[in-house]
Amino acid sequence: MSKNFTWPVRVYFEDTDAGGVVYYANYLRYLERARSEWLRAMGFDQRKLMDETGLGFAVRAVAAEYLRPARLDDELRVTCGIKMLGRAQVVFEQTVERGGETLLTATVRLACMDLARGKAAAVPTDIYEQFAKLT
């Protein structure tokens, strides 16, 4: 597994505003999909993680810089890489690109959560070790 992961996204009509430009909040969906698919590509099933351990990842903070607009029918690439790894949190650096042009940069902080208690918990050892190889 490489240090950075890329996930393709096509812009659909439902993603845009009346002017055909991607609505700003939909970029967060693109970032989420890329992170989820990266976990899946590493062999980690989030549903299984929740069912078997009661743990899940929740976004704690997002800082996004919107540089250029994406438009209806654009083919985008969403990238993610780990910027920092802690015992109970992971910070990702992510981008949304179109044809080599960066449209958005973001830093996303995730907390590993004990879902029943609503409190932070340690990242499971197998996931932590895999992430540590990518930092």
Which tens digits make up the pLDDT trace of 88-124? 999 999 999 999 999 999 999 999 999 999 999 999 9
Structure tokens at 57: 């990842």
Specify the CATH number of the domain 4-132: 3.10.129.10
Q: Looking at 1-5, 14-18, 114-118, 119-123, which range is the least confident one?
A: 1-5
> Cα(103)–Cα(111) distance, rounded to whole angstroms?
26
Q: pTM for the full model?
A: 0.91
Residue position matching structure tokens 């907390």: 111
Kindly indicate the confidence band of residue 135, based on its pLDDT and cuts at 50, 70 and 90.
confident
How far is residue 120's CA from residue 44's CA, in Å, rounded to a whole number?
19
Q: Supply the angle between the helices 26-41 and 46-53 in degrees, to the nearest 10.
A: 70
Residue 60: closest CA among 83, 89, 81, 85: 89
Mean pLDDT estimate for the chain: 94
Active-site choice (15, 17, 45, 51): 17
Per-residue pLDDT, 2: 60
Query: Which whole number is the average pLDDT over 72-87?
Result: 96
Contact present, 92 and 61 (Cβ < 8 Å): no
Q: Is the pLDDT of residue 1 over 70?
A: no
Please name the amino acid found at residue 91.
V
Would you state the pLDDT for residue 104? 98
Residue 17 annotated among the catalytic residues of the structure? yes
Quick one: which of 55, 69, 53 has its CA closest to 15?
Answer: 69
Model pLDDT, residue 134: 85
